[in-house]
Amino acid sequence: MKNFWNIYFELKGLTGRGIFTPSDWNNNLPRLVRYQMLISICTALTVDLKQIEEEEFKVAISPALFYQYLKKSKVKHRNNKISELIERFEESTKYTEPTEYQLTKLFYSLLKVRKNIYELESHFNGVLAASGVYILPIILNDSMSEAIQLEKKWIDDCLLFLMNTENVKVTKQNLIEKYQFPNVDLNEIDFDYF
Q: 84: pLDDT confidence band, cut at 50, 70 and 90?
A: confident
- pLDDT tens digits, one per residue of 144-156: 888 888 888 889 9
**Degrees to nearest 5, angle at CA 128 with 118 and 20:** 35
Decide if pLDDT at 162 tops 60.
yes
- pLDDT tens digits, one per residue of 116-149: 998 888 876 655 565 667 677 777 878 888 888 8
Q: What is the pTM of this model?
A: 0.84
Query: Domain map of the chain by residue range?
Result: 1-45+168-194, 55-167
Q: 103: pLDDT confidence band, cut at 50, 70 and 90?
A: very high
Taking each helix axis as running N to C, give the angle between helix 100-122 and helix 135-147, from 0 to 180 degrees, rounded to the nearest 10. Answer: 150
Q: Is 194 or 60 the better-scoring residue by pLDDT?
A: 60
Provide the pLDDT for residue 37: 94
